[in-house]
Amino acid sequence: MLGFILSPIGKAVGSVLTVAALVVGVYAYGYQRGRTVEQVAFARKINHENKEAGNAAEDWRARYRRCAERDGLYDFETGACDE
């Protein structure tokens, strides 16, 4: 076994296996890094959409409250206050 490892063919096979292991490692690192970056971008998008939805709900609640305070009738279909 030691003779094969020290032979020119054994050294070539060892070099090829080393390069293959490095390629697989670099690919795995890049793949994981890409997934992590994409997960962060996806989380940012969801948080942004949640913030916009919360703001829209708060705006609607404020319009409805102002309408109710003026003893108006809120039209949900049009989003207008009929006083």
Residue 16 within any structural domain of the chain: yes
Residue 2 within any structural domain of the chain: no
Residue 3 within any structural domain of the chain: no
Average pLDDT of the chain is 89
Residue 26 within any structural domain of the chain: yes
pLDDT at 9: 85
Residue 70 within any structural domain of the chain: yes
User: Is the pTM higher than 0.75?
Assistant: no
Residue 5 within any structural domain of the chain: no
pLDDT at 49: 97
pLDDT at 2: 61
- The domain total for the chain is 1
- SS3 sequence of the chain: CHHHHHCHHHHHHHHHHHHHHHHHHHHHHHHHHHHHHHHHHHHHHHHHHHHHHHHHHHHHHHHHHHHHHCCCEEECCCCEEEC
Domain of 73 in residue numbering reads as: 10-82
Residue 4 within any structural domain of the chain: no
Q: What confidence tens digit (pLDDT) does each residue in 26-66 have?
A: 999 988 888 988 999 999 999 999 999 999 999 999 999 99
Residue 37 within any structural domain of the chain: yes
